[in-house]
Amino acid sequence: MQQISSFKPVETGRLYLVPTPIGNLDDMTMRAIKTLKEVDLIAAEDTRHTQQLLNHFGITTRQISFHEHNTEQRIPELIAKLKANVSIAQCSDAGMPSISDPGKELVAAAVKEGIPVVPLPGANAGLTALIASGLVPQPFYFYGFLERKHQQQVTALQELVNRPETLIFYEAPHRLKKTLTTMAEVFGQDRPAVLARELTKRYEEFSRGTLQELRDYFNDHQARGEFVVLVAGNDHPVTEQAASEQTPLEQVDAEIVKGLSTNAAIKLVAKRNQLNRQELYRQYHHIGE
């Protein structure tokens, strides 16, 4: 059994995880402002971006860069400072540290060294979108950003196709169309979904419909701003027992009825049953008979 961790009696600095606004500066909490003013150092994902926030609230605390490209170099340096009783606030460009942003490696290193880690509550795009989406808010499954390559997306989404929870993803505007196309391919065109963009900002907008309707809309309209993509859970998931009672070809037909394309259904059923996809494809299309 893993021992319950506790703070070491030796005096060290504390690592504060400070959320920042996802758009509207009024969402900055009083505690977050107070913490950024009182710590010795701010580890920021983008010091230029964070400086604008600090200037707005009259915060003069010194910054150091800490992002995904310098974690290997920075973590030992920051841990050494914490051990020397330097208090550090870590923040990302928007929202909560460690959630699709740098931070988790530093937290893990601090925990390993017995350094106190103090999380502050604050803005989070996924939950902000979820409560206004109109989809079932509980339970939910947060995924974040999908991989960029099509086949990697397909593989990840196939793992989620039967989950009953509302699914939460993040996506950049220039990749939105392709991601919606892949989701419609794997989840089925009729799966309800909601797109939330520019949350807390002037042009905040929610788009609701099926994956096919949303995909078609953004085929004709330019996507602007960062998106939260929420997909309704599968209310008729295929259990392993139910699937085992059908032949693989019957399973393919069942997935097509639910809205999957023929190729996506064959891929899903082949993976579910550990079959050769090409062979199942040939069987389904009666090739070589």
The full set of domain ranges for the chain reads 15-119, 125-231, 240-284
In the structure encoding, which two tokens stand for residue 83, read together? 């051990």
Are the C-beta atoms of residues 53 and 28 closer than 8 Å to each other?
Answer: yes
pLDDT of residue 101: 75
Stretch among 48-62, 154-168, 187-201, 258-272 having the lowest mean pLDDT: 258-272
Residues 62-85 have a mean pLDDT of 94
**267: pLDDT strictly greater than 60:** yes
Tell me the pTM. 0.80
Query: How far is the CA of 257 from the CAs of 80, 141, 188, 189, 280, in angstroms?
Result: 59, 25, 9, 11, 18
**239: pLDDT strictly greater than 80:** no
**236: pLDDT strictly greater than 80:** no
pLDDT of residue 145: 94
3-state secondary structure of 210: strand
**255: pLDDT strictly greater than 90:** no
Between CA 58 and CA 54 the distance in angstroms is: 6
Q: Which CATH superfamily includes the segment(s) 15-119? A: Tetrapyrrole methylase, N-terminal domain (3.40.1010.10)
pLDDT of residue 252: 82
Stretch among 16-25, 31-40, 108-117, 155-164 having the lowest mean pLDDT: 155-164
More confident residue, 2 or 70: 70
Which 8-state DSSP code applies to residue 207? E
Are the C-beta atoms of residues 65 and 71 closer than 8 Å to each other?
Answer: no
| Identity of the residue numbered 96 | M
**56: pLDDT strictly greater than 80:** yes
pLDDT of residue 132: 97
DSSP bridge pairs for 117: 15
pLDDT band for 277, please (50, 70, 90 cuts): confident
Do 15-119 and 125-231 come out as alike in CATH topology? no
**244: pLDDT strictly greater than 80:** no
Percent of the chain scoring above 70 in pLDDT:
93
Are the C-beta atoms of residues 168 and 126 closer than 8 Å to each other?
Answer: yes
Residues 126-155 have a mean pLDDT of 94
Between CA 223 and CA 230 the distance in angstroms is: 16
Dihedral class, residue 258 (left if φ above 0, else alpha if ψ from -120 to 50, else beta) = alpha
Q: Give the CATH architecture of domain 125-231.
A: 2-Layer Sandwich (3.30)
Segment holding 237, helix H or strand E:
none
pLDDT band for 279, please (50, 70, 90 cuts): confident
**29: pLDDT strictly greater than 80:** yes
pLDDT band for 85, please (50, 70, 90 cuts): very high
